Amino acid sequence: MRPTSTARYPRPLIFLHWLMALAVALAYVTGGDPTEAESMWEALLGQVHVACGLTVAALLVLRVPLRLVLGAPAPLPGAVWPRRAAAFLQAGLYALMLLVPLAGWCALAHEAVHFSVLGWSLPLPNGSSAWVRALGRTHEALGQLFIAAAGLHTAAALLHHAVLRDDTLRRMLPGGSGR
């Protein structure tokens, strides 16, 4: 039996989901210390990395209220533990969408007094503050945790699609008839 649901995520949430996924992936592949660029290429990668981190943070500010207002489709029928695991993972992903850019901002503040991204001067916290240094030191580890959690999220979506053959993934894919 194949559990199905015609309910999809609202189109704005689908758009933000995939835009954030792109920004996270691009931030990951352009990672590195943007304050230690030794070539124009490294400087460009650093700019892209910081811009993607800022994009994730900005999109989160849009996504959370929209999710609260627009809601989400009801979970597909099934065992309770996978739904709880999915809710736990989703909460973790939302927390990391906030913590990773915040830790990156702190790491940047610890390494530089001024930093401009794409010509815009980024306001930085006091880089000598103990909490800024402590949070900044977690940026890389949190980023790795974020990628691992996103990979688990992706694997679960593919498992639902290819093995369980339900509509979990289809409800978040672009296209189709959204509400």
The per-residue pLDDT for range 47-100, each reduced to its tens digit, is: 999 999 999 999 999 999 999 999 999 888 888 998 999 999 999 999 999 999
Summarize pLDDT for 141-157 with one digit per residue, the tens: 999 999 999 999 999 99
Predicted TM-score (pTM) above 0.95? no
Q: Does domain 11-172 sit in CATH 1.20.950?
A: yes
From residue 73, give the alpha-carbon distance in Å to each of 45, 131, 155: 38, 39, 20
Strands (DSSP E) found in 82-145: 116-117, 120-121
Residues 69, 168, 88, 20: is their CA dihedral positive or negative?
negative
